[in-house]
Amino acid sequence: MKIFMVVGARPNFIKVAPLHRALSKCSNVVPRIIHTGQHFDFAMSGIFFEQLELPTPDYFLGVGAGTHTQQTAAIMVEFEKVIQTEKPDLVMVVGDVNSTLACALVCAKENIPVAHIEAGLRSGDRTMPEEINRIITDSISDQLFVTEKAGVENLLKENIASERIHFVGNLMIDTLARHLPQIDQMNLIGKLGLCSGDYILMTMHRPVNVDDLAGLTRILQIIKALSAEQTIVFPMHPRTRKNILMLGLLRDFEEVKGLKMLEPQGYFEFLNLIKNSRIVLTDSGGIQEETSYLRVPCITLRETTERPVTVEEGTNYLLPDFDTHSILNKVNEINAVKLKKGQIPAFWDGNTAERIVAILREKYFNSYVCDK
């Protein structure tokens, strides 16, 4: 049985790694990795393959950057060529990036079964391209694997048959739990002259925050206010750095005392930064999950989250008000009383890949043997 696994962006690699490892243990199952090239530079792609022990992709589509429409269309064209050359029995798509939607659409038109990993997540904000990708991908997928109970509820509300919905847990946590020893061995904070718990880690990359002068100026103001009291470590997404340069703001960022700007980090290095931070300030989705598992307070600068379990049970605080004063107040509250420790959500236990493979066996290849 031939199973294609589509990856295109950093979170996809992290989630596919344990699934590829689990499927590789099954006789007569051939898992093949299709890298669309949506994230194509080494810092955002290649190093993750090395650290996560993923094999070289069987196909690299080399699509690269572009508008959402251009990128989605280009992936569809290139992925269709692969499908027509080597028709798989099942295609697995992950998350909510353009690669996810594009490849699911091609499979739907070619009558190839699709399994969506991390299905059912909804922010309720249709201005986010990722939200459109989630909704459409779920509507055309055959099997939907869900990370939290809210995802099941969302899919049922959208009239998706319950037998197609599987609450299995979070593959990102599989990878994090497996590699904790390597993460702990990193000494990045020592090289930065920092100690565990004495800095705030910031990540910002969403277009609404980093694609214009107003958004980047707001981020700069937040950094200036926070850095008066504690060090800010800011690994910059390539998109963020490009826009800072283009808008002539680099010197303004460089002149902030207490700000350490970094290049994009490898998986181990970045998780080491998260694990040793006092607080994480982010607009990322996946980081809300990683901080909840690691019990690190996280302030998410977004009006909505598609991962409500991280707020309800984890360590995440949703802060829709981007006002600097509100952010300072929340940071001070966390520092003063060490607000909620949080708990690890159900099935975030490092065994999600095995649960997914067990369901796939039942649906598609029950006669095959899978070693434990």
Catalytic residues: 205
Q: Max alpha carbon distance in the chain (Å)? A: 63
HSE-up of 18 (CA within 13 Å, CB side)?
A: 25
Residue 50 burial by CB count (10 A; 0-12/13-18/19+): exposed, middle or buried? Answer: exposed
What whole-number distance in Å separates Cα of residue 278 and Cα of residue 335? 8
Residue 99: name the closest of 115, 67, 75, 121 by CA. 75
Q: How far is CA 318 from the centre of its chain?
A: 17
Residue 312, both tokens: 């309800």
Residue 7: name the closest of 73, 89, 75 by CA. 75
What whole-number distance in Å separates Cα of residue 269 and Cα of residue 276? 11
Residue 219, both tokens: 């981020």
The radius of gyration of the chain's CA atoms, rounded to the nearest angstrom, is 20
- Give the position of tokens 């190093």: 47
Asked if 356 and 364 touch (Cβ cutoff 8 Å), the reply is no
Pinpoint the alpha helices (H) of the chain. 10-23, 46-51, 68-85, 98-110, 129-140, 149-157, 171-178, 180-185, 188-191, 207-210, 213-227, 238-246, 250-254, 267-276, 286-294, 309-312, 324-337, 352-363
DSSP per-residue string spanning 113-125? -EEEEEET---S-
What whole-number distance in Å separates Cα of residue 81 and Cα of residue 69? 19
DSSP helix/strand/coil, 201: strand
- How is residue 165 annotated by DSSP? E
Q: How far is CA 188 from the centre of its chain?
A: 22
